Amino acid sequence: MRLDKMISSTGIASRSQISSAVRAGRVLVDGAVVKKADMQVDPDKVSVIYCGTPVCYRKYTYIMLNKPEGYVSATEDGKLPTVIELLPAELQKIGLFPCGRLDKNTLGLMLLSNDGDTSHRLLAPKSHVAKAYAFRLKFPLSDADIAQLESGVDIGGYVTAPCCVERTDEREGRITLTEGKYHQIKLMMEAVHNQVTYLERVTFGPLVLDTALKRGEWRYLSDDEIALLLKK
Ligand code: URA
């Protein structure tokens, strides 16, 4: 693999930044200053230092994004901005896609990756990966509504699986689902004659939304988060 491709795939720098760093003698391979950005390396064996930072190569990239309103969970859309456009240019070229969908006006935790197998596993219905959402409603939510939501409601011919609902205020709370039908929470709340006015995903499987990320901001997953995500 080309050295500049290996380094840029980690998102640390763009290929042109890497070329400049190589020219400035700031890239080391196995302890020696590199002369050519396109030299061939074995990414699993080589030790690379880019501008003083060790490069940790991964075959796949995993990113946590705090999705803002107005962005669609897709890689391309003819009209609306996509969550991919919130990433720097070099990360828009490495095949990242959103792992699952959030509605255009839903906020919060979005996993972006180019690891198709893991994404497939996390989203497969049989995996029952838990996702928690903070919600706000137009009307108060009664104990009877919660009991109905938790045991399953009919959303257009499909009865939802058991879930967990916690109320934190008469119109606010958190719902944890282990499935993901289109517009599921909005439809579930409509089934109990209510309406969602705010929805934010706060967990996705083992991942918890990093509160240091402002809307539209992203960060790489930590090694611990990746290990939890890849655990079967
Ligand atoms: N349920 C919804 O209704 N919308 C989302 O974006 C996610 C879950």
CATH of 3-54, one of 3.40.630.10, 3.40.50.1370, 3.10.290.10, 1.10.357.10: 3.10.290.10
pLDDT score for 91: 87
The tokens for 167 are 């109320």
pLDDT score for 8: 84
Counts for the chain of helices (H) and strands (E), in that order:
6, 13
**CB under 8 Å to 211, separation ≥6 — which residues?**
none
Q: Let me know how long the chain is.
A: 232
| Strand residue runs (E) in the chain | 27-29, 32-33, 48-50, 53-54, 62-67, 97-98, 107-113, 131-137, 164-169, 172-177, 196-204, 207-208, 218-220
CATH number for the domain formed by residue range(s) 62-125+214-230: 3.30.70.580
**Comparison of pLDDT for 213 and 12, the residue scoring more:** 213
**Is the pLDDT score of 232 beyond 90?**
no
- Looking at the chain, which residues constitute the CATH 3.30.70.1560 domain(s)? 130-204
**Is the pLDDT score of 33 beyond 80?**
yes
Helix axes 143-151, 184-191, angle to 10 degrees: 130
- Confidence band, pLDDT 50/70/90 cuts, at residue 9: confident
- 156, 187 in Cβ contact below 8 A? yes
**Is the pLDDT score of 154 beyond 80?**
yes
3-state secondary structure of 60: coil
Mapping DSSP onto H, E and C, the string for 167-187 reads EEECCEEEEEECCCCCCHHHH
What's the CA gap between 126 and 137, in Å, rounded?
A: 30
**Is the pLDDT score of 107 beyond 90?**
yes
- Confidence band, pLDDT 50/70/90 cuts, at residue 58: confident
**CB under 8 Å to 128, separation ≥6 — which residues?**
178, 179
Question: Tokens 């996705």, residue?
Answer: 204
CA of 167 to the centre of ligand 1 (A): 18
CA of 160 to the centre of ligand 1 (A): 13
CATH number for the domain formed by residue range(s) 130-204: 3.30.70.1560
**Is the pLDDT score of 164 beyond 90?**
yes
Catalytic, out of 103, 117, 145, 169: 103
| % of the chain exceeding 70 in pLDDT | 100
CA of 65 to the centre of ligand 1 (A): 16
111 lines ligand 1 (CB under 6 A): no
- Confidence band, pLDDT 50/70/90 cuts, at residue 89: confident
**Arithmetic mean of pLDDT, 167-188:** 97
Q: What amino acid is encoded at 204 in this protein?
A: F
**Arithmetic mean of pLDDT, 43-71:** 94
**Is the pLDDT score of 100 beyond 90?**
yes
pLDDT score for 59: 87
**Arithmetic mean of pLDDT, 69-94:** 93
67 lines ligand 1 (CB under 6 A): no
Tens of pLDDT, residues 60-80:
999 999 999 999 999 999 999
Q: What amino acid is encoded at 222 in this protein?
A: S
181 lines ligand 1 (CB under 6 A): no
Report which of 164, 177, 181, 183 is spatially closest to residue 204, judged by C-alpha positions: 177
β-bridge partners, 57: none
- Looking at the chain, which residues constitute the CATH 3.30.70.580 domain(s)? 62-125+214-230
